[in-house]
Structure 1
């Protein structure tokens, strides 16, 4: 099963092996990517890293350090997304966050957040 197929299966809500070697490898890569993102101070480079990490991102996405996520690829954010310090998004399944959304410092996101 490919990683894409595993993500599709995980999104069904059925039990899966969280210790699957492919998922562990994907998490390790995500940890490397978030470490780079958290160390970057240049806004343009930071936005480029966000776009590489997330499944999709609208205009002007921004995250403060120490941002963490499980896979990144399952995160979809709208325009003007802002994650404050120490934000965690657990994206074992797709997480869609709407336009003009601010996530407060120290928040943990485990499901979709609609735009308000």
Structure 2
């Protein structure tokens, strides 16, 4: 892997328009496009495309349309389900536990850009891994920001923006998302 790839996956600043990174994103977009164009009844073809995208077999069930940056940085647990219109931007690892449900329109994004406009204009980017525990449910249009960890059994209310870690066994909502009550 290139120097820029190594920087990207390790959380350092990198140049996303590096030739190798651009080619890998393009490859993932082509696979996502094919996946999104398959008929829902073409289960074997959809599984093969998903395995190609992830670099491994998975029992995940993902509704079209689905989008990601690379696919190879996604680690999906058993019985993962993503409803229509989910986007997982994975320059850094997105590790998702077992029995996780994503409602329509969820965005999980590890990529971030500098606040400094000069560095941002120069194309600089970084990424921070996201970890989601087991038995988590993210409601419709939830956004999960870089570097966040969501504990086991968490429910995040629709439209929430998760900007910081959420503890296990809680119902959370808001912008930014905060604990509303424990899961009983």
TM range (shorter): 0.7 to 0.9
Gaps of 5+ in 2: 110-129, 136-184
Choose between structure 1 and 2: higher helix proportion: 1
CA distance in structure 2 between the aligned counterparts of 1:74 and 1:56, rounded to whole angstroms: 11
- The alpha-carbon distance between structure 1 residues 96 and 56, as it changes in their structure 2 partners (threshold 3 A), is farther
**1:16 is matched with which residue?**
14
Q: What's the TM-score, normalizing by structure 1?
A: 0.88
- CA-CA distance at 1:91 after TM superposition: 0.3
Q: Deviations over 1:36-83 (max 9, x none)?
A: 11111211221121111014454x211111100000010010111111
Aligned residues: 113
Larger radius of gyration: 2
**2:50 is matched with which residue?**
50
CA distance in structure 1 between the aligned counterparts of 2:56 and 2:36, rounded to whole angstroms: 19
Gaps of 5+ in 1: none
Name the structure, 1 or 2, with higher relative contact order (CA <8 Å, separation 6+): 1
Moved more, 9-18 or 98-107: 9-18
**1:115 is matched with which residue?**
134
Preserved contact between residue 64 and residue 84 of structure 1 (Cα < 8 Å): yes
CA distance in structure 2 between the aligned counterparts of 1:57 and 1:74, rounded to whole angstroms: 14
**1:68 is matched with which residue?**
67
Q: What root-mean-square deviation, in Å, do the aligned CA atoms of Structure 1 and Structure 2 show? A: 1.6
Choose between structure 1 and 2: higher strand proportion: 2
